[in-house]
Structure 1
Amino acid sequence: MSQKILGTFDDEKEEDAIVKEENPAVQEGFSEEYIQERKSKAQEMASKQRDISVAEFFEKNRHLLGFDNPRKALLTTIKEAVDNAIDACEEGGLLPEIIVEIIDMQNGRFRIIVEDNGPGIVKKQIPNIFAKLLYGSKFHSLKQSRGQQGIGISAAVLYSQLTTGRPAKIRSKIAPTEPAHYFELHIDTQKNKPEIIKEDIIEWKKDHGTRVEMDLEATYQKGAQGVDEYIKQTAIVNPHITIIYTNPKAEQTIFARVSEQLPPQAKEIKPHPYGVEIGRMAKMLAITQAKTLQQFLMSEFSRVGAKAVKEICENSALLPKDKPSNLTRQHVEKLIKGIKETKLISPPTDCINPITAELIEIGLRKEINAEFFCSATRPPNVYRGNPFIIEAGIAYGGDLDKEKTIRIMRFANRVPLLYQQGACAMTQSVQEVSWRSYGLSQSQNSIPAGPAVVVVHIASVWTPYTSEAKEAIAHYPEIVKEIKLALQECGRKLGLYVSKKRRIMEEGKKKSYIEKYLPHIGAALKEIVGFSDVEERRIHDILKEILEKSRKADGGLGRLSAVNDDPGAGEDDDILGDPSDDMPEDSDDGSSDDSYDDSAEETDDEEIEDEETERGAGQ
């Protein structure tokens, strides 16, 4: 029996050895039950993994799109609808006339109506445009436009659906002879597809255009971050549009256009090599129809000629005749390195349309009651291969508050940015300018105080927002640099005006003091010389007449109107002197920097200044 037991024991040891040999985990001392439990747990976890649609993601993370709170949700909804309406009108070659109406439905709900006179939307596209996230025509297009992600208006529809359960109501008409199509839409968040609740053909007196109607939970408040301010600022930087705005109190305001000229249509461009990273370059090489690397570089990118291709290939140790499909990841890395080492012509700038300094000033004069206005448009520049233009404007004095900090109006592609001011590159740039040189009070690296409104606008084919909500501009050194130069250009004009005004006021005070003493001078002459009362009055009148002639010769306060129209006026006035004498030089002056080095991306001030003087070849 002992032999049998011993034999059984030996057999079990042999089986254990086989199990250990087949399963290394058992060799480490883990039991078979434990191993099976771990496998089962891993399989259970794997079974829970599934695709997440973009609509589901934003359903739970709507704050990323600007729907943080009810007040902001109202602004974001109107902003997205108005931006789409203006873009559609401009692309259709029509002067925009936008109707915006907010109706208080009580119990914290509002009905938003935005209607335009644009070219309309074809029936097939209506559901996808309004009820599918990441669907649009601008994401892959390198040209200036208000929208660029294909999220905005569909995100507003999603928010409306989540907070009220009611569908968005859309009507659109493309021509007087065509019917108007009517849709009621929801978003299927699991599939990120439109769900058509109702579809119909209706009568609509409008010749062409689109009308969007949504109900949502929101809060209406006036103020610097409210809908009223957004509409006003939109009118300032879009002087060619008319907005008919009705607030929840049924108060209607018409912001009439002051320009009958549409902005020139921005042209689409190809990407610039400086803005392409390794992953995107590899993808482009994989799908290109080009037969050779030279063909690829010249056909897929802007401003790359045969000479540039030769230099790129030399710098990257590749041959112009290499087949794009044969290039490995190591080759792509070499190609990117070679591009960075090659000086290339900057991308064309007909893909962006600045507002222009003249129209910025017209817009400011229309909406702000001030005494002095100036503006500036910088030459085009580039960040990461993307062209951009910075513009700035200042309104000063008048009804503006003297005690508070200045108001900063931020715009990107003609769209107001009302939130995240502290996180924006534009605000940082304003703080870094020495405003004391230009007549405003300022603590170190802070927003200055005084009766002024500062406008900053960036126009670009791809605006670098800090988030999907499009509320602030990212801090690229090239962008911050250009904003500061634009502000300094406006600041010099403001400083000239403020200095002249101060000198004229001082001269006025001196003459007022002299006028007070005229009767005493007359009385003294009467006593010393023995003038009669008639002669005393005559002396007083003569002295007063001389004083008035002196005032007229100096120009007086009326001289300021000339300074407002032409900040350089009166610089040779001997009595006023040269106000620039008591204005220190800009620490970051850009008065002679009309060009830039396309390949440079240095952040050091001295290197950028050198770059400024070497521009020109790429313009």
Structure 2
Amino acid sequence: MPSKTTTTKTVKSQKDISVSEFFEKNRQILGFDSPVKSLLMGVKEAVDNSLDACEEARILPDILVEISKMDQKEYKVTIEDNGPGIPSAAMPNVFGRLLHGSRFHAVRQSRGQQGIGISATVMCAQITTGKPATARSKVKSAEAAKEIDIIIDTKKNTPVILREEYIPWNEKESGTRITFYMSGRYITGKQSIYEYLRQTAIVNPHASLTFIDPDGHKYIFERATNELPPQSKEIKPHPDGIELGTLMNMVNASSEKSLIKFLQNDFSRISERVAKEICSAAGITETTRLSTMDLEKCKQLQDGIGKVKIMAPQSDCLSPIGENLIRKGLKHVLSDIKPEYYAPPITRDPKSHSGNPFLVEVGIVYGGGLPSDQQVQILRFANRVPLLYQQGACAITKAIEATDWRRYGLEQRGGTGIPYGPAIILVHIASTKIPFTSEAKEAVSAIPQIQEEITLALKACGRSLRTHLNKKERKKKTRAKFEIVQVIIPLMAEKTANVLGKPIPDLRGTITKIMNVVWIDESITYDKGKHRAKITIYNYTPKNQKFKLHTVLPKEGTSLISYSLNPSEVKDDIKLTWDLPRIASTEIFEISFELNGLDKEAYEEMDIYVSNINPVDVMGADPLPGDWDLQGVNFTEVDMVPDVEISEEEDEEPDYDETEEDLYDE
């Protein structure tokens, strides 16, 4: 055993360690663990802060990133924004104190939460080059901007101001600029600063990003929309899945006296009725004083919460990208690839893990200039921030690997692993608290609730891809058959008639017997702010056909201004139904209409459905579902079509989530 003298010396040698001193010696935890990543992390933290500041002030972001090479290892990095600026008195703590932030305790979505990012960048720059960072900021209506040279006293975790002065910044009404010098290595490719900014532009289509690289090349990612994302609101924790220790801390910190008031006022989605149900399920009286809630009673309360059905978390604490802007962002940034198909993006309803609301969004891009002999490209995002490193350790990747993509038209050896094919899979997780695997915020932990939601969204998006590929293949085969029949048979008939000296027979009836299909084609053109849509129906069957045709217009900003055939039913200005006249065998019938008020990319592919006809006889349109709500719209009194048998190999899953519980009203 150690002697008393040794023990005394050991105790006396122990002392507190400041958080900045800890991260100074362990900066790899923050992602500054290599020359390449250090440079990227510095840019990322500053850009994230700029985007957050602009969105909170409801300003469309204009962000400049400029990197200059000073010598073989040292780079000068400047990030400038047009945000609301930082008050002069707050600047030292914002840039020079770790864990100084206003968002850590707030239950709402934001990119930055811990108050580490930009101050850690200043610290790592200081460590690697010995040079201070220079920060400049100007608030609206100020006559001048304040500029400071700053370093961090890592022993005390306090800012040290080396210079401060007020200078004119007339070209800016408000904004912030940070400049730092950092040892690093600039690269191009999949994990580069350029790629980070490109992916940031996809999920932040409201931002304009300008990048000047060390060689002086200038890249501009123009904003694709002037629509700011919805502003997230701070809420109280959701009780679903709350952990025992967290619950006990909330009980001890609450200002409420009774248990029922604590449940009502310290949690979201708990009304008086639900609070009473929880108390009853836990076997604890409603008037129990919080001061008497010991470990055993808190366990009972946790069990009681798990037994009561509580409404799903409200969505206003989150700021999802939304289906329309996911599509717009992908099309805007990937225009050089020209993909053939954008699967309708999926945005899941909010769920909760450990009391933190979250939701999952998925988009899939297919074809065009994407390579078909390589693994699909995975774009991972958390709270609109790209995740470029630790792909294999991320819950997003694990969910993609566990999904059987063979049933959705992609190659996947053995039914597991990242699939191969000309595709990009985008997954975005929005949450009030992203469960990252480390402070570097490079991968999402494999929380079961989150992974399940990702899987459900992937499968829903995958079904859209499979439908597109099946339709494309059927059309390709039928069109080939049609072209053969239309060309070869008439040539044979013409030559035979010439040999026999007889007139060429009318072959339309023969061709329809061979084809025996109702062929539906659609086309959409865009000119001078208007979309012109045309649907052409070819009756290549030996009998007359009369059926209903349905289509759904884009939901937002649609205005139907003209049509060649009056729809028999229009609902909510987006759901159109036509009772088609009887189309004789071999006849062609056309429907056309015009829309305005939409961006070009908002309506590039038409969804067409049919009813009152056997869908087996139709090529180019899907049968109208019996439950139209599953498609996001709600036609009423539609005619059901005969069920089409789908083999087990095609899909073992229903087109809805059997495991998903519906929201209910209190």
- Indicate the TM-score class for this superposition, using the shorter chain for normalisation: 0.7 to 0.9
In the alignment, structure 1 residue 296 sits paired with structure 2 residue 262: yes
8 Å contact kept, 2:264–2:270: yes
Q: Which residue of 2 aligns with 1:7?
A: none
Cα separation, 1, equivalents of 2:664 and 2:501: 80
Q: Deviations over 1:459-493 (max 9, x none)?
A: 11111111111111111222122112212222122
Quick one: which amino acid aligns to residue 104 of structure 1?
A: K
Quick one: which amino acid aligns to residue 373 of structure 1?
A: Y
Residue of structure 1 aligned with 2:237, choices 271, 292, 295:
271
Quick one: which amino acid aligns to residue 664 of structure 2?
A: A
Residue of structure 2 aligned with 1:485, choices 449, 456, 467:
456
In the alignment, structure 1 residue 458 sits paired with structure 2 residue 429: yes
8 Å contact kept, 1:119–1:209: yes
Q: Which residue of 1 aligns with 2:558?
A: none
Quick one: which amino acid aligns to residue 117 of structure 2?
A: G
Cα separation, 2, equivalents of 1:420 and 1:586: 32
Q: Which residue of 1 aligns with 2:475?
A: 504
Q: Which residue of 2 aligns with 1:592?
A: 656
In the alignment, structure 1 residue 127 sits paired with structure 2 residue 127: no
Cα separation, 1, equivalents of 2:273 and 2:265: 14
Cα separation, 2, equivalents of 1:399 and 1:551: 35
More divergent stretch after superposition (320-329 vs 386-395): 320-329
In the alignment, structure 1 residue 254 sits paired with structure 2 residue 214: no
Residue of structure 2 aligned with 1:347, choices 284, 299, 313:
313
Cα separation, 1, equivalents of 2:248 and 2:493: 93
SS at match of 2:460: helix
Deviation at 1:242, TM superposition (A): 0.7
Alignment of 1:244-393 (within 5 A): 244-368=210-334, 369-374=338-343, 375-393=345-363
Q: Which residue of 2 aligns with 1:404?
A: 374
Q: Which residue of 2 aligns with 1:420?
A: 390
Cα separation, 2, equivalents of 1:576 and 1:235: 38
In the alignment, structure 1 residue 229 sits paired with structure 2 residue 202: no
Give the direction of change, closer, same or farther, for the CA distance of 1:416–1:307 in structure 2 (3 Å limit).
same
Deviation at 1:518, TM superposition (A): 6.5
Q: Deviations over 1:336-356 (max 9, x none)?
A: 333333333333221112111
Give the direction of change, closer, same or farther, for the CA distance of 1:109–1:540 in structure 2 (3 Å limit).
farther
RMSD of the TM alignment (CA)?
Answer: 3.0
Alignment of 1:599-610 (within 5 A): 609=658
Q: Which residue of 2 aligns with 1:22?
A: none
8 Å contact kept, 1:225–1:419: yes
Cα separation, 2, equivalents of 1:227 and 1:541: 66
Cα separation, 1, equivalents of 2:492 and 2:272: 86
8 Å contact kept, 1:437–1:583: no
Give the direction of change, closer, same or farther, for the CA distance of 1:559–1:85 in structure 2 (3 Å limit).
closer
More divergent stretch after superposition (184-193 vs 373-382): 373-382
Cα separation, 1, equivalents of 2:292 and 2:520: 77
Cα separation, 1, equivalents of 2:180 and 2:438: 25
SS at match of 1:565: coil
Quick one: which amino acid aligns to residue 266 of structure 1?
A: S
Q: Which residue of 1 aligns with 2:595?
A: none
Cα separation, 1, equivalents of 2:652 and 2:25: 47
8 Å contact kept, 2:147–2:166: yes
Deviation at 1:279, TM superposition (A): 3.1
Cα separation, 2, equivalents of 1:541 and 1:111: 78
8 Å contact kept, 2:238–2:355: yes
SS at match of 1:101: strand
Give the direction of change, closer, same or farther, for the CA distance of 1:567–1:485 in structure 2 (3 Å limit).
farther
Q: Which residue of 2 aligns with 1:616?
A: 663
Q: Which has more helix, going by share of residues?
A: 1
Q: Deviations over 1:353-404 (max 9, x none)?
A: 2111111111111122211112111122222222211111111111111111
Q: Which residue of 2 aligns with 1:440?
A: 410
SS at match of 2:162: strand
Q: Which residue of 2 aligns with 1:16?
A: none
Cα separation, 1, equivalents of 2:164 and 2:407: 63
TM-score normalized with structure 2 length:
0.77
Cα separation, 2, equivalents of 1:191 and 1:407: 44
Quick one: which amino acid aligns to residue 403 of structure 1?
A: D
In the alignment, structure 1 residue 529 sits paired with structure 2 residue 572: no
Figure out how many residues of one structure are paired with residues of the other and give that number.
Answer: 556
Quick one: which amino acid aligns to residue 592 of structure 1?
A: Y
Give the direction of change, closer, same or farther, for the CA distance of 1:526–1:279 in structure 2 (3 Å limit).
closer
Cα separation, 2, equivalents of 1:73 and 1:108: 12
Quick one: which amino acid aligns to residue 445 of structure 1?
A: T
More divergent stretch after superposition (312-321 vs 188-197): 312-321
More divergent stretch after superposition (376-385 vs 387-396): 376-385
Alignment of 1:112-151 (within 5 A): 112-151=77-116
Q: Which residue of 2 aligns with 1:21?
A: none
Deviation at 1:524, TM superposition (A): 4.1
In the alignment, structure 1 residue 394 sits paired with structure 2 residue 434: no
8 Å contact kept, 2:96–2:160: yes
Q: Which residue of 2 aligns with 1:17?
A: none
8 Å contact kept, 1:346–1:618: no
Rg larger in 1 or in 2?
A: 1
Cα separation, 2, equivalents of 1:358 and 1:583: 33
Taking only the aligned residue pairs, the percentage that are identical comes to 42
Deviation at 1:586, TM superposition (A): 4.3
Deviation at 1:516, TM superposition (A): 7.1
Q: Deviations over 1:537-571 (max 9, x none)?
A: xx69999xx99xx9998467969998961345589
Q: Which residue of 2 aligns with 1:216?
A: 182
Deviation at 1:297, TM superposition (A): 2.4
Cα separation, 2, equivalents of 1:586 and 1:519: 41
In the alignment, structure 1 residue 182 sits paired with structure 2 residue 151: no
SS at match of 2:346: strand
Q: Which residue of 1 aligns with 2:577?
A: none
SS at match of 2:42: helix
Q: Which residue of 2 aligns with 1:472?
A: 443
Q: Which residue of 1 aligns with 2:47?
A: 82
Deviation at 1:271, TM superposition (A): 1.2
Quick one: which amino acid aligns to residue 160 of structure 2?
A: E
SS at match of 2:3: helix
Cα separation, 2, equivalents of 1:526 and 1:265: 74
Q: Deviations over 1:244-296 (max 9, x none)?
A: 11111111111111211111211100112335433333333333322322222
Cα separation, 2, equivalents of 1:446 and 1:439: 15
Cα separation, 1, equivalents of 2:462 and 2:250: 45
Deviation at 1:132, TM superposition (A): 1.0
Query: Which structure is richer in relative contact order (CA contacts within 8 A, separation 6 or more)?
Result: 1
Listed as ranges, the gaps of 5+ residues in structure 2 are 526-532, 536-602, 623-643
8 Å contact kept, 1:485–1:588: no
Q: Deviations over 1:548-603 (max 9, x none)?
A: xx9998467969998961345589483637888578464454x434xxxxxxxxxx
Cα separation, 2, equivalents of 1:310 and 1:556: 59
8 Å contact kept, 2:260–2:272: yes
